[in-house]
């Protein structure tokens, strides 16, 4: 919603509210700026955004902007409009600047005697323009999909890895709300292909400090031929293909997909006219984006990274885009109140209601959504880095697909500690947020240990009992079933396991499990009795799904603990088969987790309609980036680590993993192992 519009032309100001309209003359100083053909009169205003400008200069410019706009306004009208604003119900204000010359001024500095308006949590300002319709833009189903595009991955001074790490850290409080993927230094075809595949709601470009050369059009420069900041680097590796993303290239991009929000976390090129860079923003809005966030002057890479951290923290918390940008500005101001970085982000919005820009629809209302988000031991997922594409497991909906989601899913790996369990839990978390009931059952908890180090293998009946226990575990499962829901299953189990006359006649049986083993030789109906037990189990889960009108995703970890023969002869045809073939609006789905070396996996692979998700160890090219992301995630959760340096952790990481040797890949738990060692060493030094 828009509570007020401030419209500024070359010589007049209009204030539109829901009930009134007012008009008055613009101050003489800005009228002169608007009619200056040389643009010289705007220079004192834009100079306030330079990094060397003193804070008082920005304050003075902000007051001059305010006086020019409001000195001639009807007395008290603006104050009356602000009186009812609160943090729970802020005033949403659109500033519509019709003069191209005046649009170049740093309106985010505008302030009254108390504070800059762009940092006021009660009055949320955004730039914008008249919109053709006030119709609400419908929300899309979560999670919020974000494609992070690193324009110049070879330029280490851009601190792209640090920005990506801080974005990852921002999402740890509410995991699963935002799905991010990264593409490094693509050419235009590669970028179009990735946008088409990921279909991001947010398209975020990282390319700080890039400068255009003479003759370049305003835009984002990819794979620049030399470092963008400072003197040339002798170690700089010239890319094979340099190019610029300008308005024409953006047209091609929008032909495949229209992101709701575009974030240009890149400084405006120093030699590019402001109007040319504005063309890129206008192209995004004209082609269908709902909002664009861009920088109106050079922003230091550390500040750009901190801006992204705060922005995505707010977006994960479902804040409207104008509130999210305001929060990010305040975050930058707290870090450096004397610098200009807080005033550099500009929000251009092309819809009537800024809440529509990144509004996502999940399967639960608040505060239930947040309770579920934090109810299960999902905190360990803060350690889970990488595997971005694999994280779509369970919820990804291919474009224009009419096929129902896969009922059978599988996660596997040829290596140990590759993150199979973390990925399964991530899948469960995301699907739960989207509206499915979930159950996680780790068969290792039920198999125990046999003689020596050999684990006990489970037969099919032990597996069903383990799944029943997991489904009714109200201490750990966020969607736990009540034990009474398995009453009918227990009755069938008691009779069918023993067989004989009582089963044949359907005699009464207790509603609790008597613990019988399955007697194969009790009669000639062993196969029928076993099938009846499985049918009763599945009917219990299906009845629950129909009653709650929610699909049910059951994840079975450590499937290798099942006897291979029981898995292939019983569980595949009697449990997984009916799940795969069932036709239901509220289906049961099963996710299995097992190492690729388990002999039973080949039976599963032949049985499934879809392909399993195969995890591999982390490869060396991603090692440094993910190390920093892991560090930032942990540092934001651990007060001890906030006093430590990443460089010290990184040095130990390099030493323990022998990067100068032949090692080329690393398991996903390596970072935590090294961190634990590093903390132990630190504790030993302090004790000494």
pLDDT by residue (tens digit) across 216-245?
A: 556 888 987 655 445 555 544 555 678 889
What is the pTM assigned to this prediction?
0.92
> Is residue 275 situated within a structural domain?
yes
Which candidate, 285, 338, 381, 267, places its Cα nearest to that of 54?
Answer: 338
Cβ-proximal residues to 648 (8 Å cutoff; 6+ apart), any chain: 678
* Domain of residue 270, CATH code: 3.40.50.1460
| Count of residues making up the chain | 688
What 8-state DSSP symbol labels residue 571? Answer: I
Same domain, 606 and 498: yes
Write down which residue in 599, 614, 629 finishes a domain. 614
Write down which residue in 96, 128, 160 finishes a domain. 128
Over residues 85-125, the pLDDT tens digits come to 888 899 999 999 999 899 999 999 999 888 898 999 999 99
> Is residue 233 situated within a structural domain?
no
> Is residue 386 situated within a structural domain?
no
> Is residue 373 situated within a structural domain?
no
Same domain, 586 and 449: yes
Q: How confident is the model at residue 78 (pLDDT cuts 50, 70, 90)?
A: confident
Same domain, 111 and 178: no
Q: Is the pLDDT of residue 272 over 70?
A: no
- What does the pLDDT read at residue 452? 52
Same domain, 610 and 622: no
What is Dmax (Cα atoms) for the chain?
A: 102
Tokens 């060692």 belong to 677
Helix axes 301-316, 321-335, angle to 10 degrees: 140
Over residues 369-379, the pLDDT tens digits come to 998 888 877 76
Look up residue 228 and give its two tokens.
């963008």
Which of 14-23, 148-157, 550-559 holds the top average pLDDT? 550-559
Write down which residue in 614, 643, 673 finishes a domain. 614
Bridge partner list, 591: 409, 555
Over residues 350-371, the pLDDT tens digits come to 998 999 999 999 999 999 999 8
CA distance 296 to 409: 47
Same domain, 608 and 494: yes
- What does the pLDDT read at residue 135? 61
Q: In this structure, which long-range contacts are made by residues 654-660, counting pairs with CB atoms below 8 Å and at least 24 apart in sequence?
A: 657/623, 659/620, 659/623
State the pairing for strand pair 91-97/123-128.
parallel
Rg of the chain, C-alpha, whole Å: 30
Tell me the average pLDDT across 163-174.
92
What 8-state DSSP symbol labels residue 522? Answer: S
Over residues 645-680, the pLDDT tens digits come to 888 888 888 887 665 445 567 788 888 888 888 888
Number of structural domains in the chain: 4
CA distance 209 to 203: 19
> Is residue 412 situated within a structural domain?
yes
CA distance 371 to 572: 35
Same domain, 160 and 263: yes
Which candidate, 217, 215, 223, places its Cα nearest to that of 280?
Answer: 217
* Domain of residue 597, CATH code: 3.40.50.300
Q: How far is CA 469 from CA 226, 437, 443, 480, 532, in A?
A: 61, 16, 11, 10, 19
Look up residue 430 and give its two tokens.
């995301």
Same domain, 604 and 631: no
Which candidate, 175, 236, 185, 179, places its Cα nearest to that of 207?
Answer: 185
Is 130 exposed, middle or buried, given 0-12, 13-18 or 19+ CB atoms closer than 10 A? exposed
Q: Is the pLDDT of residue 404 over 80?
A: no
- What does the pLDDT read at residue 149? 97
Q: How confident is the model at residue 543 (pLDDT cuts 50, 70, 90)?
A: very high
Same domain, 636 and 583: no
Q: Are the CB atoms for 123 and 179 separated by under 8 Å?
A: no
Q: Is the pLDDT of residue 684 over 60?
A: no
> Is residue 498 situated within a structural domain?
yes
Q: What are phi and psi of 352, to 5 degrees?
A: -65, -35
> Is residue 379 situated within a structural domain?
no
Tell me the average pLDDT across 141-161.
90
Average pLDDT of the chain is 87
Same domain, 591 and 624: no
CA distance 133 to 52: 43
CA distance 53 to 338: 9
Find the domain containing 655 and state its range.
618-687
Q: Are the CB atoms for 86 and 122 separated by under 8 Å?
A: yes
Is 544 exposed, middle or buried, given 0-12, 13-18 or 19+ CB atoms closer than 10 A? buried
Over residues 636-651, the pLDDT tens digits come to 777 788 888 888 888 8
Which candidate, 308, 178, 299, 314, places its Cα nearest to that of 229?
Answer: 299
**What's the N-to-C CA distance of the chain in angstroms?**
61
Bridge partner list, 181: 147
- What does the pLDDT read at residue 660? 45
Same domain, 356 and 211: yes
Is 308 exposed, middle or buried, given 0-12, 13-18 or 19+ CB atoms closer than 10 A? buried
Same domain, 461 and 609: yes
Same domain, 402 and 545: yes
Q: How confident is the model at residue 686 (pLDDT cuts 50, 70, 90)?
A: very low
Q: Is the pLDDT of residue 210 over 70?
A: no
Neighbours of 192 (CB within 10 A): 18
Cβ-proximal residues to 657 (8 Å cutoff; 6+ apart), any chain: 623, 663, 666, 670, 674
> Is residue 163 situated within a structural domain?
yes
Q: Are the CB atoms for 109 and 116 separated by under 8 Å?
A: yes
Q: In this structure, which long-range contacts are made by residues 405-408, counting pairs with CB atoms below 8 Å and at least 24 apart in sequence?
A: 405/589, 406/589, 406/609, 406/610, 407/579, 407/580, 407/582, 407/587, 407/588, 407/589, 407/590, 408/576, 408/579, 408/580, 408/589, 408/590, 408/592, 408/607, 408/608, 408/609, 408/610
């Amino acid at each position: 919603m828009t509570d007020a519009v401030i419209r500024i032309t070359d010589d007049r100001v209009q204030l539109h509210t829901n009930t009134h309209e007012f008009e008055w003359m613009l101050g003489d100083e800005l009228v002169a700026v608007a009619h200056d053909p040389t643009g010289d009169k705007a220079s004192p205003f834009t100079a306030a955004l330079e990094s060397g400008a003193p804070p008082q200069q920005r304050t003075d410019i902000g007051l001059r902007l305010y006086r020019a706009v409001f000195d001639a306004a009807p007395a008290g009208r603006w104050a009356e409009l602000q009186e009812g604003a609160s943090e729970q119900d802020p005033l949403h204000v659109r500033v519509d600047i019709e003069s191209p010359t005046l649009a170049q001024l740093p309106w985010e500095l505008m302030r009254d005697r108390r504070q800059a308006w762009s940092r006021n949590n009660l009055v949320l300002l955004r730039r914008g323009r008249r919109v053709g319709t006030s119709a609400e833009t419908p929300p899309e189903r979560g999670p919020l999909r974000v494609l992070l595009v690193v324009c110049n991955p070879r330029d280490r001074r851009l601190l792209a890895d640090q920005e990506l790490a801080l974005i990852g850290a921002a999402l740890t409080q509410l995991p699963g709300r935002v799905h991010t993927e990264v593409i490094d230094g693509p050419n235009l075809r590669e970028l179009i292909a990735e946008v088409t595949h990921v279909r991001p709601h947010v398209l975020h470009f990282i390319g700080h400090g890039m400068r255009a050369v003479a003759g370049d059009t305003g835009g984002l420069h990819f794979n620049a031929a030399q470092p963008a900041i400072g003197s040339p680097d002798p170690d700089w590796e010239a890319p094979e293909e340099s190019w610029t993303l300008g308005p024409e290239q953006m047209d091609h991009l929008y032909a495949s997909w229209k992101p709701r929000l575009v974030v240009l976390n890149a400084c405006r090129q120093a030699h590019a006219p402001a109007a040319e860079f504005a063309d890129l923003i206008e192209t995004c809005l004209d082609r269908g984006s709902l909002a664009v966030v861009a920088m109106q002057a050079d922003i230091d890479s550390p500040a750009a990274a901190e801006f992204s951290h705060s922005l995505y923290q707010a977006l994960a918390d479902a804040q409207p885009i104008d509130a999210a940008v305001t929060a990010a500005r305040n975050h930058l101001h707290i870090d450096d109140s004397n610098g200009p970085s807080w005033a550099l982000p500009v929000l251009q919005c092309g819809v009537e209601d800024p809440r529509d820009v990144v509004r996502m629809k999940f399967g639960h209302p608040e505060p239930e959504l947040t309770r579920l988000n934090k109810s299960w031991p999902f905190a360990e997922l803060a350690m889970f880095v990488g595997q971005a594409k694999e994280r779509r497991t369970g919820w990804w909906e291919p474009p224009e697909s009419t096929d129902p989601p896969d009922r059978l899913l599988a996660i596997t790996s040829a290596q140990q500690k590759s993150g199979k369990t973390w990925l399964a839990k991530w899948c469960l978390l995301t699907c739960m947020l989207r509206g499915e009931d979930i159950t996680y059952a780790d068969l290792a908890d039920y198999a125990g240990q046999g003689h020596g180090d050999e684990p006990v293998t489970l037969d099919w009946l032990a597996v069903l009992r383990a799944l029943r226990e997991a489904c009714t575990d109200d201490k750990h499962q966020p969607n736990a079933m009540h034990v009474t829901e398995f009453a009918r299953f227990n009755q069938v189990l008691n009779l069918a396991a023993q067989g004989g006359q009582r089963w044949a006649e359907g005699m009464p049986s207790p509603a609790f499990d008597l613990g019988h083993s399955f007697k194969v030789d009790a009669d000639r109906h062993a196969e029928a009795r076993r099938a009846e037990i499985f049918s009763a189990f599945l009917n219990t889960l299906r009845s629950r799904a129909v009653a709650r009108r929610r699909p049910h995703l059951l994840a079975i970890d450590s499937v290798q603990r099942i006897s291979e023969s029981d898995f292939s002869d019983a569980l595949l045809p009697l449990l997984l088969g009916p799940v795969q073939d069932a036709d239901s609006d509220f289906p049961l789905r099963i996710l299995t987790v097992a190492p690729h070396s388990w002999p039973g996996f080949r039976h599963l692979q032949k049985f499934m309609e879809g392909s399993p998700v195969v995890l591999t160890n982390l490869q060396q090219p991603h090692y440094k980036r993910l190390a920093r992301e892991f560090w930032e995630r942990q540092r934001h959760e651990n007060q001890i680590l906030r006093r430590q340096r990443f460089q010290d952790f990184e040095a130990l990481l390099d030493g323990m993993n022998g990067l100068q040797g032949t090692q080329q890949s690393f398991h996903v738990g390596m970072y935590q192992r090294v961190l634990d060692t590093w903390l132990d060493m630190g504790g030993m030094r302090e004790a000494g």
